[in-house]
A = this chain, B = another copy of it.
Amino acid sequence: MVVKSELKLIKSLQQKKYRNEHGLFVIEGKKAVEELLNSNFKVFRIYLTKDVAPIMDDKNEVVIFPKEMDQISSLKNPNGVVGVFYIPKPDTVDFKDWIVVLDDIQDPGNMGTIIRLCDWFGIRHLVCSKNTVDCYNPKVLQATMGSIARVNIEYTELEHFLSSANGPVYGSFMSGDTVYEKELSREGILVMGNEGKGISDRVKALCTNTISIPRHGTSTTESLNVATATAILLNEVRRG
């Protein structure tokens, strides 16, 4: 049994304002919830419909009615598992490996894909401008497929962050130097810009290198999507 006010609270967490106010976020799906339970994330409560097998044997696991699930889920077809977790305090960024920096990424799908890519390529730290889409947005979490459990994400002033970095800062630009011809350092920062505007001038000024992925098609070809470009550049970083 859950009281109405609790359902209302969970529902409100679909909005960033209330996530920040309560320090909580919602993630849906058995696999994603299990991955977070096995990570450093702290659980607030898990909600299940009765057709789903219990996940934890714990008082924080609550069985609810399908009607209640419909109320708290952000999905058209809820999958029967909603986890509510505490938003963690980010770890201190470690400059001993590659770091990905996002300058105002707006699309939740792109953000989710980039988090998943960081996980795949073993990138531990993702540093985002304050205007980048919130990583605890339900659509972002849907696209991460649980990878959020393994990537440390911080929102900060990029100018301040990049000024404090020692290593090379590689900005991805349409007109940058061909990435194949660059000798990429063992550690560094990869900066990816906004979907429409690219990297802002203030962040560009702090990039020590520019890189690009050569186009083989004609000049009318639309630029690569930012998540796709991140995939290719992280592969370049890791292939050595």
Contacts and interface: CB of A to CB of B under 8 A. Distances in A.
A145 interface: yes
Interface string A159-186: 0000000000000000000001000000
Nearest to A228: B231
A204 to B, nearest CB: 23
A216 B122 contact: yes
A227 interface: yes
A187 to B, nearest CB: 14
Given A228-B228, A228-B231, A235-B235, A119 B221 contact: yes
Interface string A198-227: 000000000000000111111011101101
A117 interface: yes
Interface string A140-173: 0000011100100000000000000000000000
A28 to B, nearest CB: 15
A120 B220 contact: no
Nearest to A109: B109
B122 A222 contact: no
Given A121-B217, A232-B235, A235-B236, 14 more contacts: A113-B225, A119-B221, A120-B221, A122-B217, A146-B220, A146-B222, A147-B217, A150-B218, A180-B239, A214-B238, A216-B238, A228-B228, A231-B231, A231-B232
29 contacts: A113-B225, A116-B222, A116-B224, A117-B224, A117-B228, A119-B221, A119-B222, A120-B215, A120-B216, A120-B217, A120-B221, A121-B216, A122-B215, A122-B216, A146-B220, A146-B222, A147-B217, A147-B222, A150-B217, A150-B218, A180-B239, A216-B238, A224-B231, A227-B228, A228-B228, A231-B232, A232-B232, A232-B235, A235-B235
